[in-house]
Amino acid sequence: MVNISEVTAAPSPDLLTPDNCAVLFIDHQPQMFFGAASGDRTAIINATVGLAKAAKAFDVPVVLSTVAAESFSGPIMPQLPEVFPDQQIIDRTTMNAWEDANFVEAVKATGRKKLVFAGLWTEICIALPALSAIAQGYEVYVVTDASGGVSPQAHEHAIQRMAQDGAVPVTWVQVLLELQRDWARSETYMPVMDVVKEHAGAYGLGVVYAQAVIGAHAAG
């Protein structure tokens, strides 16, 4: 029951903020993309880059990881190191990143309790570390449109499995706007608009249109 006297204009602690989360990019590699068939792969790439730029705009710590980069899966998609040129890429042999000590140490080093996962494939390389992180007390969010599985069923069932254990499905635009949350936050307003215009499709075109119309009226 709601105690009206205790209701205030304050955000829920469940919300993502630039100070409480880290973003984990797992196995966005050519061989993994070749097998991804749960959705449009170009859209997954776009969502992944949008998510990366969102993290960059808010200075959210990230972890970049690959599996068997030199022997099987190939290098990480080049757009990620372009956004994070100084970020170490952790290569693993384990399908479950949470069984790799270097990966877990990198996550621990962020000092964040909310982990935002994105990667390929959802049913293995995301589900396994996400469930493992939850078991050790982390709060997990899965960016569903920046992830993909080998089939629509594999992707969806993996999301259901993680959600049953407490993971929260989100989208990359949702993460971006949840981090911003107030358009009065001027220090990140323009970086957010830049990401939206470049990666958010029709929403981005709407921003372009609005800025053009407002700019024209202001000039007049």
What positions carry a catalytic annotation?
125
Handedness of CA 76, 82, 83, 85 (dihedral sign): positive
Q: Please list, in sequence order, all residues whose beta carbon lies within 8 angstroms of the beta carbon of residue 21, skipping any fewer than 6 positions away.
A: 60, 112, 114, 115, 116, 141
Backbone phi and psi for residue 31, each to the nearest 5 degrees, phi listed first: -60, -35
Other Cβ atoms less than 10 A from the Cβ of 103: the count is 21
Other Cβ atoms less than 10 A from the Cβ of 129: the count is 28
d(CA 21, CA 166): 16
Name the β-bridge partners of 169: 142
Q: Contact 67/99 with Cβ under 8 angstroms?
A: no
